[in-house]
Amino acid sequence: MSGGLFDDADVISVYTRAQALEDGALVDLTEWARDFGIRWPVACTRAVWADCIEWDEQLNKQKGTGQDEAGRACDVLAMAAWRLRKGGEGRGIFTVLRTPRDGRGRKPRPVELTIHCGPGDTPAPVLTIMFPSED
């Protein structure tokens, strides 16, 4: 049996999941995810964090929205866990209702997210929550 096509190729660049977590491109949600029965490591992209989870406590005090980061993360993870229980392939789309970060109108709006299951830096499975336009 012959070797693989790239066995002797020089590696130009490697960007690991650990590096993405360290530099903030991914945000670790694993601890919160355990409350929803998710046993694998879970992270979301910086864009999902900024749009769906991150919250300004000053805004909460000024406008009385009743929002906080833990609650918003729980909303995302509850819907992600629901999508995982539905089964399917390694990728699934789900919708979260989230209050816009500026607090205007306080009316939650639907946001479509994707959860992807695949190998991390090792063959062990990890989950990543992202916008459908991200990869």
% residues pLDDT > 90 (the chain): 62
pTM, full prediction: 0.84
Residue 1 has pLDDT above 60, yes or no: no
Residue 6 has pLDDT above 70, yes or no: yes
Residue with tokens 């918003």: 72
Q: For the purposes of burial, counting CB atoms within 10 Å of the CB of 29, is it exposed (0-12), middle (13-18) or buried (19 or more)? A: buried
pLDDT of residue 101: 74
DSSP characters over 35-73: TTT--S-EEEEHHHIIIII---HHHHHHH-----HHHHH
* Contact by Cβ (8 Å): 75, 95: no
pLDDT of residue 61: 61
Residue 56 identity (one-letter amino acid): D
CA distances from 30 to 8, 34, 49, 59 (A): 37, 6, 14, 27
What is the arithmetic mean of pLDDT over 18-26?
A: 96
pLDDT of residue 55: 86
Mean pLDDT, rounded, of the chain = 87
Confidence grade of residue 56 (pLDDT, cut at 50, 70, 90):
confident
Report pLDDT digits (tens) over 95-106.
Answer: 999 888 765 566
- For residue 107, report the phi and psi dihedrals to the nearest 5 degrees: -85, 120
